[in-house]
Chains A and B, each alone.
Chain A
Amino acid sequence: MSLAHRIIPCLDTDGERVVKGINFVGLRDAGDPVALAARYNAEGADELVVLDIAASRDRRPTFLETIRRVAAELAIPLTAGGGIRTLEDGRAVVRAGADKITVNTAAVKRPELIFELSREFGAQAVVLAIDAKRGGNHWDVMVRGGRESASLDAIEWARTGVAAGAGEILLTSVDRDGTQSGFDVMLTAAISKAVNVPVIASGGAKSPGHFVEIFQEGAADAALAASIFHDGVQSIRTLKEFLAARGVEVRLPC
């Protein structure tokens, strides 16, 4: 009896429709978030993440409506984020039905945001998203959708964010994202070892073997992927059966 490793599909949206970037550029439409949410809920996904990657102010009401419609389909936890800049932004996504809030660029600019959200909703509801890119012998924190360096060391930032009240780290390898060449095992293991909160690995997943690797060697508590699930390259049910057969503890759907 121990915690199952979680498989988390991610819906990157423009507020309304699911899109997925290849290395964060060249977006293409991948579908209706509500239909995908219902499918993943039924297939045995352990959680769902919905991000507003456009995060433009005037489209915010559309994104909140998307969260509401997605939440209505789910009997599993929902994390939402993208463009969360203030406590009020956080309240709006929680009121719309999210169980957890992810923060990224705004938290780098103003780390107190993590503390404010954690004080109001509890650490279990605050997910610090870190986009990390290798630079020499360390990893740089990238902001603004992976385009700009924040001149921060990813390991240091993870520690700072946890001390400020983040209850989980959503760690995306900018180098691997969209490449389908596998998760960044070294990066994930380094962050997982540096903090005492769960780490969700993201970026680069394609084959079931990549998931075995990130759980067994990368010490990830959860793994997130988008396009391989949306495109049907990988079904969550088959992936979990594969993992279970290789000794990775997962929650098998009935």
Chain B
Amino acid sequence: MTEHKVLPVRTYVLIWAILICATFTTLGIAFIDLGPWNIVVAMMIAFTKMSLVVLFFMHVKQQTALTKLFVVAGFFFLAILIFVAMTDYGTRTWMPQGRMW
């Protein structure tokens, strides 16, 4: 059984402030040319923001182990969807046309 304890207002406001700062960081960095790293940085910031929302706003930090397992499983299956699709599309040009073997 979990403890459904009430988080203090300052925790919520702190998370909100970090999320707002991260949004403007995302916007600012997008206009700097980092080559292939632009998308990496943007996605890292987005994942950080998502983790903060999930853990604190959605209270997953306080939930039962079963709920945590379900949350992780959801993102795990999404990763399979995208990663396995990209192992196909990302490698199609690796072999010369017509000389597969």
Partners in one complex: no
Chain A residues within CB distance 8 Å of chain B: none
